[in-house]
């Protein structure tokens, strides 16, 4: 990571909702962060209100009481700073592998965004400490397990709060594992001593699951367009018909995603010499198999699911989630806004859509390898079938991935294990839903890469007929680093290189440079 701030994007956090682009800039592009003057004023106002209540005789949850099942215990004034510190230490109880840096940065930014609304009661210096740590590139170590997705992503957020008070472990800007106190001192950061309610305010939020949802939607916006391209390549390589993608046919069933996907098929397959050349020869084929013919219906449903998830994410980005919350009229009220159900449901819904997108992709790949269905190509697209196995085992790899994606599609949000002595007796498991969705998106990336690798080989074998300009541009980009048809080679590196080109967007960019941005 570069420490030259002039080369990094910058995000100012205000009282309004963050955009997807701002979240991605901070999470993935190391943006520096600051707070708007308006937000600092709102933060100070609610902090003053909490300080007033701290000295009141009437107990206020999180200000002068314990937490969860211990909410009935009144805490004396001289023990309240210790109360907040103890809360963070005890709740930083995560276990398992480290969570990715981008997830932790997104989580911290989104917690800061809630602080910026002035609804949490923290002091400005607490919020500024989060902004400074993000800007310095110091990243708290957060572990895979610990969140039930209710009362917020408690353990992950607590590990971040632990770093703010100068304890625990962090990764510095170069990625080295360090004691927090040493890394902060080197970066010029000072630990914060938490006051009433502040520890609680730092851990009550859906920020981890929301950050992962925003990144998943961002990744899927690219992958759904490429899924249309990969399907179009399979249709072309299998000399299918493009007539089923006519606009008027899809207007008969006006799902927005389906209509957009069909438009992409028409764009990508336009002027395909392969399809045009074989139209008469294969006129006996009345209609293609479902994995070809119904591709826009499935891809369109995935798109519509992503758009539904986007709506939920945008609402959540506009939310101020804390318990208790400081209202605009100065009340400090307990609430249940930390429950992750709205986010958890769409995370699970996306995992289902991702699994099905991969499933139909694998079916198209399998058709290329079967001489009974591939319309004149060699078995397994092998150079010399029998001596060579071609892409036989690439499809095994795809099948293994799809099987795993089906397991990952089992919803996490239908589970609930009571906690905190039955005070927290229903939880969302939204963090778990987000973690498995990240694995699912990686799996879809790999499945699409194998379809593209296979379809490109099939299209090359259709020569001398030429592919459409769009698919030809993708194949040309692929052939810069991955060889075309020939005798069997060590296949794994070619798969991994194609995965890289899918993940970084280079293959989609090659298509869109030729035909414009797809729908």
CATH number at 408 reads 1.20.200.10
Q: How far is CA 320 from the centre of its chain?
A: 21
How many domains does the chain contain in total?
2
- What single string gives the DSSP state of each residue in 433-499? HHHHHHHHHHHHHHHHHHHHHHHHHHHHTTTTSPPPHHHHHHHHHHTTTS--S-S----HHHHHHHH
In the block, residue with structure tokens 């902004």: 131
Could you say which of 158, 185, 205 is where a domain stops? 205
What range defines the domain where residue 245 resides?
212-319+349-515
Domain shared by 153 and 300, yes or no: no
Q: What separation in angstroms does the CA of 454 have from each of 300, 457, 459, 495?
A: 23, 5, 9, 10
Q: Cβ contacts of residue 135 below 8 Å, gap of 6+?
A: 5, 32, 33, 34
Residues 68 and 93 in one domain: yes
Q: Is residue 335 part of a domain?
A: no
280 sits in the region (left: phi over 0; alpha: psi -120 to 50; else beta) called alpha
Q: Compute CA 448 distance to the chain's CA centroid, rounded to the nearest angstrom.
A: 17
The gap between the terminal CA atoms of the chain, to the nearest Å, is: 33
What's the pLDDT at 421?
Answer: 80
Q: Are residues 284 and 404 in the same domain?
A: yes
Task: Indicate the burial class of 284 (C-beta count within 10 angstroms; 0-12, 13-18, 19 or more).
Answer: exposed
> How high is the pLDDT of residue 462?
95
- Listed as ranges, residues in the chain with pLDDT below 50 are 1-2
Contact 107, 133 (CB under 8 A): no
Q: How far apart are CA 162 and CA 155, in angstroms?
A: 10
**pTM (two decimals):** 0.94
199 and 218 assigned to the same domain: no
CA atoms within 13 A on the CB side of 216: 38
- Compute the distance between CA of residue 38 and CA of residue 40 in angstroms, rounded to an integer: 5
Domain boundary among 175, 205, 235: 205
199 and 216 part of one domain: no
Longest CA span, the chain: 89
- Give the whole-angstrom CA distance, residue 259 versus residue 95: 45
| 194 and 216 fall within a common domain | no
Residue 3's CB is within 10 A of a number of other CB atoms, namely 12
Q: What is the pLDDT of residue 57?
A: 65
Tell me which of 61, 285, 345, 396 is the catalytic residue.
Answer: 61
| 295 and 247 housed in the same domain | yes
φ, ψ (nearest 5 deg) of residue 272: -80, 115
User: How high is the pLDDT of residue 475?
Assistant: 98
- pLDDT for res 52: 82
Annotated catalytic, 396? no
- Spatial contact of 208 and 153, defined as CB atoms under 8 Å apart: yes
pLDDT value at residue 258: 98
């Amino acid at each position: 990571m570069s420490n030259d701030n002039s080369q990094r994007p910058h995000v100012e956090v205000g009282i309004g909702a963050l955009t997807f682009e701002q979240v991605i800039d901070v999470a993935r592009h190391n943006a520096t962060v600051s707070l708007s003057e308006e937000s600092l004023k709102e933060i100070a106002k609610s902090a003053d209100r909490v300080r007033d209540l701290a000295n009141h005789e009437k107990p206020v949850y999180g200000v002068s009481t314990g937490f969860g099942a211990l909410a009935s215990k009144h805490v004396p004034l001289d023990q309240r700073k210790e109360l907040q510190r103890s809360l963070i230490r005890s709740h930083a109880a995560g276990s398992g592998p480290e969570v990715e840096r981008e997830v932790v940065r997104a989580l911290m930014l989104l917690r800061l965004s809630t602080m910026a609304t002035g609804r949490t009661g923290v002091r400005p210096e607490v919020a500024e400490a989060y902004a400074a740590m993000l800007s310095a590139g110091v990243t708290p170590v957060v572990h895979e397990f610990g969140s039930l997705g209710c009362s917020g992503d408690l353990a992950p957020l607590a590990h971040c709060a632990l770093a703010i008070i100068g304890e625990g472990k962090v990764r510095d800007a170069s990625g080295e594992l360090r004691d927090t106190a040493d890394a902060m001192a080197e970066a010029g950061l000072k630990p914060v001593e938490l006051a009433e309610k502040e520890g609680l305010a730092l851990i009550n939020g859906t920020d981890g699951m929301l950050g992962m949802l925003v990144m998943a939607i961002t990744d899927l916006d690219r992958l759904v367009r490429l899924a249309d391209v990969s399907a179009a390549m399979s249709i072309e390589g299998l000399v299918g018909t493009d007539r089923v993608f006519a606009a008027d046919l899809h207007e008969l069933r006006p799902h927005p995603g389906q209509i957009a996907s069909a438009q992409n098929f028409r764009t990508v397959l336009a002027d395909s010499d392969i399809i045009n050349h074989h139209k008469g020869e294969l006129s006996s084929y009345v209609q293609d198999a479902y994995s070809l013919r119904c591709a826009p219906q499935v891809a369109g449903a995935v798109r519509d699911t992503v758009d539904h998830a986007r709506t939920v994410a945008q609402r959540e980005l506009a939310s101020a989630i804390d318990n208790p919350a400081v209202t605009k009229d100065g009340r400090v009220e307990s609430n249940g806004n930390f429950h992750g159900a709205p986010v958890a449901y769409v995370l699970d819904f996306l995992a289902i859509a991702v699994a099905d997108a991969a499933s139909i992709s694998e079916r198209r790949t399998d058709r290329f390898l079967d001489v009974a269905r591939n319309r004149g190509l060699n078995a397994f697209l092998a150079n010399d079938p029998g001596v060579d196995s071609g892409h036989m085992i690439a499809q095994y790899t795809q099948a293994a991935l799809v099987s795993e994606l089906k397991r990952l599609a089992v919803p996490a949000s239908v589970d609930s294990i009571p906690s905190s002595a039955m005070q927290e007796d229903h939880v969302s498991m939204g963090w778990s839903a987000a973690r498995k969705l990240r694995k699912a998106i990686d799996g879809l990336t790999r499945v699409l890469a194998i379809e593209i690798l296979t379809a490109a080989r099939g299209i090359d074998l259709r020569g001398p007929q030429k592919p459409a300009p769009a698919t030809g541009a993708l194949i040309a980009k692929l052939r810069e680093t991955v060889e075309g048809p020939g005798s069997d080679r060590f296949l794994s590196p070619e798969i991994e290189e194609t995965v890289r080109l899918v993940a970084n967007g280079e293959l989609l960019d090659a298509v869109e440079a030729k035909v414009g941005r797809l729908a």
